[in-house]
Structure 1
Amino acid sequence: MNTDTPSYDRRAASRVLAELAQPGLFTAPAPPPLPRRFEFTCAALRPEHDSHLTYSQRLYLERFMRPCRADQVTSATHRIAWTDSDGIPNTGHFRADGLGPVVPIAMRETVLALWHALDANAGFAERVSGLGPREHAVLTATTTDHDPRDIFRVGVEAAGRALAQHALLAGQTPYRDPAEFARGIRDSGLFAAVATRWYWELQASTYRRGMIPVDLETQPDGTVRYSAQTVATLRTMKDATIADAHTVMHRATTTEGLTVADAIAKYHEDLDLISRQYALLPAGSHPACLAAMPHQLDNGHYSILPALADRFVSVFTEIVDRCEVAEVSADLDEASADRAATAEDQVFYVPDMTCKHCVRTIGGVLESMDIRVLDIDLDSKRVVADFRSPRNRARAFEAIRDGGYNPVAEQPDAAAQAATEPSEAAV
């Protein structure tokens, strides 16, 4: 039996984060947002024949969402691409019968505003610098990201995903504008529902694909909640994911006799879509979101999630009313769309390519289109592929965006590249 198991302790890690946040991390006033205009390109999603899901959505559903059925999933109708105020390319989704493209755009600006506030918070930086070896060891053993700043940044991003993803279901709610919708999902406790009922990769991957496996029911008080079928399906999917992680780790540590660290290293690809947090979860237990755990601090109960949700919604409602969005054309030049691709056409960049799983996904998309991949460099985010024509390249970009990534023709500047979202953590 291996005795080198890291000090994996979700409650202890949650307390470390709560003590960093409790002194007011999400309560400091922020300057009012400036009015901004954002131009975006828009493309209708193309469902498969006799289905409301795209090819990418169906594949993900069949492989990673058992036993969820297609009829339990709502899909976006359109995907947009735009550049945010930090100069970072983004993609997002909306439904034509919903709240429109302003929601993902304003959500991203809210994420950036909270990230900048976090970076400017001298008290938070001081508390982080005061952490001792024990606190750092607990975070290293328990969370995917180890730096507290990165952990909180990912938590903010997850709150934004929850807001924009549930906006695909706005038609199932009594909320008729983005600000009312944001306040409604906060008051309905849906931020907490995502944190406690979903598993991490399900939220991240379905968000990137413009899909959500949820139905909402309106209550007499005007709030909404998940249907009983949704709750049961999410629970079953979560149980199946945990079982998959345990199977991989049990085989590695018993049959093969590997240490836990060596098992995670060897089977990193197998655990990529499961998450390290489930690989180390004790048998018979269920993961609790670190941000949702309550703690007794300063003679009172405190948890990060309610404070974060309140702050996120407050900033979003200020920003969304100051965002002007305008669609612009992304049409190819038909006169040159089918010419032979040049060496310059072969190179592009993916700013949000952050890990080997991203590399495999992007490479797989290209290869599925019979496009030869010549090189993918994770450090520089640079991809070289043997496109046949500008039209072939444009269609490949659309397929990559269908998987939630943001290909761009030119290398982003250093500041923008550094600001791309960190790797996915267990907040």
Structure 2
Amino acid sequence: MTGSDPRYDRRAASRVLAALARPGLGGSVATPPVRRIEYTSAALQPETGSHLTLSQRLYLERFMRPCRADQVTSATHRMAWTDSEGVPNTGHFHSGGLGPIVPIAMREAVLTLWHTLRADTALAQRVSGLSARDAAVLEGTTTDHDPIEIFRVGIEATGRALAQHALLARWTPYRTPTEFAAGMRDSGIYAAVATRWYWELQASSYRRGMIAVTLATQPDGTVRYSLETVATLRAMKDTTIEDAHRIMRRATHAEGLSVADAITKYHDELDLISRQYALLPPGTRPACLAAMPHQLDGEHYSLLPVVVDKFTEVFIATVARLTVVEIADEVETGSGEDRVFYVPDMSCKHCVRTITGVLESMDIGVQEVDLVSKRVIAEFRSPRNRQRAFEALRDGGYNPTVELPAPSEPTPTESAV
């Protein structure tokens, strides 16, 4: 696959991805094995007189204008566990809802679908045969330029949306994880996320255990976003787009920079609010690439329902064969000079850049940030320096941790919760 000059074109990029996926996105999925996964949990500590934590309130005030605190639901607990591939994870759940099984099963379903992607040799061949023009469109339009990586991030975003909306499960008709997953699919909630939200809002609010949504039950038993939610999400998205355009206008007009130089100079500002929005033509409303419909070979095709249906199927099968068990939280081990730690919330190249930027801004040398294993290797000058770095990452919505113990071996007789 040869490159060309990158060009920004969201519809063209969406069509490239749809054409790659339409013949088949991943092969058949085997029945998930019986698993037992242990987790620890701790109650979130809201600020005095509020239902939000400090991190949640700061993010709300800085990046969610004009959303109000009373429009946000917070998790009650943060949890940590090691998945079936030995990677540390963190997540959130609401004690009045479906509990910790949703984020854990979500992660296992994501891992299963990632395996099917890696094993899809036909998809790999189609990707390797991309034209220079199509490769340039993806490079100029998307954050993760490689199609396999884009699909991988899309699968994880689907799982993230399910786990985040599970904070609202007690206000829905769905009483089990299986009912909830099917209900989210049948209600079209994933399409609402793709069209109403902006990407960074979903990722960052998920990491902080919060969601700015109210669900309204319909006569047919499905759920929809309330009218107030739709209006608030649109206002937040419009504000984000205008912020991005303002930064880009200042850089390219007042400062006379090229688009590439503007993105380089204002990387932090544009990365937080998505540089893709900064490149949108004025008056254009962005849509998720996976949600755009296309006519391919004379047939209507959209990638999002394909991913959602497959994810829901795998999630339901995973829940049926999964047992989760809470264990006592142990104090993290390791000296302050330890160079290796993990950031379970890290999900894409945007996160890699953000985490690297936080550490380097504190004069901490970063040797490696591995997106797959969630591992970071950095040169800390002292135990205090390491602790300060962890606090800075937590302020940014990430949850660094030392390596957790390996998961217990499953036994064939264990049943699901």
Query: Residues 351 and 48 (structure 1 numbering): CA distance in 2 closer, same or farther, change over 3 Å?
Result: closer
> Which whole-Å deviations, capped at 9, do the CAs of 1:238-297 have from their partners, x for residues lacking one?
000000000011111111111111111111011121112101111010111110011111
- Residues 240-319 of structure 1 correspond to what in structure 2 (within 5 A)? 240-319=239-318
What residue identity is the alignment partner of 2:353?
Answer: K
Structure 1 stretches of 4+ with a deviation exceeding 4 A read 341-344, 351-354, 360-364, 395-404, 410-413
User: Over residues 384-423 of structure 1, what are the superposed CA-to-partner deviations in whole Å (9 max), with x where a residue is unaligned?
Assistant: 263359xx95x9868855754343435999xxxxxxxxxx
Q: Is the 8 A contact 1:110 1:316 kept in 2?
A: yes
| Corresponding residue of 1:386 | 382
For residues 39 and 252 of structure 1, the distance between their equivalents in structure 2, rounded to whole angstroms, comes to: 50
CA shift at 1:93, angstroms?
A: 0.4
Uncovered stretches (5+) of structure 1, i.e. residues with no partner: 365-372, 414-427
Which residue of 1 is the match for residue 16 of structure 2? 16
One-letter code of the match for 1:350?
Answer: Y
In 1, the alpha carbon distance for the partners of 2:367 and 2:329 equals: 27
Computed over aligned residues only, the root mean square deviation of the Cα atoms, in angstroms, reads 2.6
Residues 146 and 72 (structure 1 numbering): CA distance in 2 closer, same or farther, change over 3 Å? same
1:174 aligns with 2:173: yes
Task: Tell me the CA shift for residue 298 of structure 1.
Answer: 2.3
SS of the aligned residue for 2:80 comes to strand
| Secondary structure in 2 matching 1:85 | coil
TM-fit CA distance, 1:140 = 0.7
Call closer, same or farther: CA 1:215–1:410 in 2, change over 3 Å.
closer
Cα distance in 1 between the residues matched to 2:336 and 2:231? 52
1:202 maps to what in 2? 201
Q: Paired residue for 1:162?
A: 161
- Structure 2 CA distance for aligned equivalents of residues 139 and 258 of structure 1: 23
Using the TM superposition, name which of 355-364 and 242-251 deviates more: 355-364
Structure 2: 5+ residue stretches without partners: 370-375, 407-417
**2:341 aligns to what?**
349
Aligned ranges for residues 15-414 of structure 1 at < 5 Å?
15-25=15-25, 28-332=27-331, 344=337, 347-351=339-343, 354-361=351-358, 375-377=364-366, 379-380=368-369, 381-383=376-378, 384=380, 386-387=382-383, 400=393, 403-409=396-402
Partner Cα distance (2:318, 2:336) in 1: 42
Q: Distance in 2 between matches of 1:156 and 1:49?
A: 37
Percent identity, aligned pairs only, is 64
Q: Which secondary structure state, in structure 1, belongs to the residue aligned with residue 364 of structure 2?
A: strand
- 1:343 is displaced (CA, Å) by 5.2
TM-score norm. by structure 2 comes to: 0.88
In structure 1, what is the Cα distance between the partners aligned to 2:206 and 2:53? 14
- Provide Cα deviations, 1:364-396, integer angstroms capped at 9, x if missing partner: 9xxxxxxxx66241525224263359xx95x98
DSSP 3-state at the match of 1:7: coil
Question: CA separation in 2, counterparts of 1:186 and 1:326?
Answer: 27
**Aligned residue type for 1:167:** A
Provide the C-alpha distance between the structure 2 equivalents of 1:229 and 1:126, rounded to a whole number of angstroms: 46
- Amino acid of the structure 2 residue aligned with 1:20: L
1:398–1:321 distance in 2 versus 1, CA, 3 Å? farther
What SS does the corresponding residue of 2:239 show, helix, strand or coil? helix
> Which sits farther off after the overlay, 177-186 or 291-300?
291-300
Counterpart-to-counterpart distance in 1, 2:116 and 2:213: 32
Deviations 1:98-122 (A, max 9, x none): 0010100000011111111001001
Preserved CA contact (<8 Å) 1:91 1:404: no
* CA distance in structure 2 between the partners assigned to 1:170 and 1:362 by the alignment: 36
TM-score of the pair, normalised by structure 1: 0.86
Using a 3 Å threshold, how does the CA distance of structure 1 residues 388 and 257 change in structure 2: closer, same or farther?
closer
Distance 2:363 2:382 in 1: 7
CA distance in 2, matches of 1:83, 1:402: 23
Task: Give the Cα–Cα distance (whole angstroms) in 1 for the partners of residues 47 and 214 of structure 2.
Answer: 22
